[in-house]
Amino acid sequence: MTNERPLSQPSIETTTRPESMEKPKFTLDIDPIYEGFQAVEVTKIDDSKPWKPALEVKVTKSDGTAAEGVDAEHAIYTFKDAKDNTLSVSIATAGHIDDLHIHAKEPGSQFEQTSLTELMQDISKHLPEDVMERKGISTFDMQMGKHMGMEGIASMDELMEEGTLTSHDIATVRMEQNRVYELNKSGSMEDKNAYIESFRASHPESKIQFQLVRDTVVVPVVDSPKRPTTKLFMMMGPDANDKPSMYTIAPGRDMPRHPNPDQHTDRDGKFDEATFKQSAEAWFDTVMLTGK
């Protein structure tokens, strides 16, 4: 497991060259059957595991036909280095990225690029050289050298410095930290939704409110526009066969994992409270931007 890092910490930078001179550091294999898919829908999950991973998906292909019962771990994209080490992108992950960060069906960062294949080709030029050697779950960002989209997170400190937030806004919300910690750790959906409405009713003047994201996590949000970025964030870790796999990407800086217990529970069902606490604390220095 990796430690959460503050948003202001320097990120991984990669040297870029003019586009015409750039050569991918990694080759990229693409499954032509599912490339350009219209939609990916999870149809079967593994209820025996705490994080309930997807087992099967339904893929609406580029021609509109549907493929059902597709293995959720099936690699639609595979990065390969000179030693034939691989980093895969599963069809389930590709669907997640397409839904959340290309078509922006939920709050968060949104890519300028609308082609997932072209986005993966860009990534192949900027992946860190040691990416195949990383163990466990790893998060980092890459300087892509061009506009990547709109970043949907910011630190409370930077929003205060620019005048969007006041010290009172931040102090009010931080008084809620312990309550939100417990809600995210073990609260029911009913409790979470009730808390969000209660806080809004009690503090209508607060520029920081709370919102449920990814259907499970209570995080602070600010009605402020997303910001342009030239960076790309990536989370990776082992797949079902302990091989390197992309978990998600988004435009912007390295961000803390959400304080979702499933993201801090290993395959044996052991909950890592230390990393959960780090995430929970990081998300009281970080907010999601919900403005247009």
Calculate the alpha carbon distances from 20 to 16, 24, 125, 128, 218 in Å. 11, 11, 12, 20, 44
pTM: 0.84
pLDDT value of position 24: 62
Which portions of the chain are predicted below pLDDT 50?
1-21
- 154 strand-pairing partners: 287
pLDDT value of position 10: 32
In the block, tokens 């050289």 appear at: 129
pLDDT value of position 260: 93
Residue 279 in 3-state DSSP? helix
The answer to whether residues 258 and 214 touch, using CB atoms and an 8 Å cutoff, is yes
Beta strands of 152-278 (E only): which ranges?
A: 153-155, 208-213, 217-225, 227-229, 231-238, 244-251
The answer to whether residues 234 and 128 touch, using CB atoms and an 8 Å cutoff, is no
pLDDT value of position 137: 87
Helix (H) or strand (E) holding 180: helix 177-186
pLDDT value of position 23: 56
User: What burial class does residue 131 get, using C-beta atoms within 10 Å of its C-beta: 0-12 exposed, 13-18 middle, 19+ buried?
Assistant: buried
pLDDT value of position 158: 96
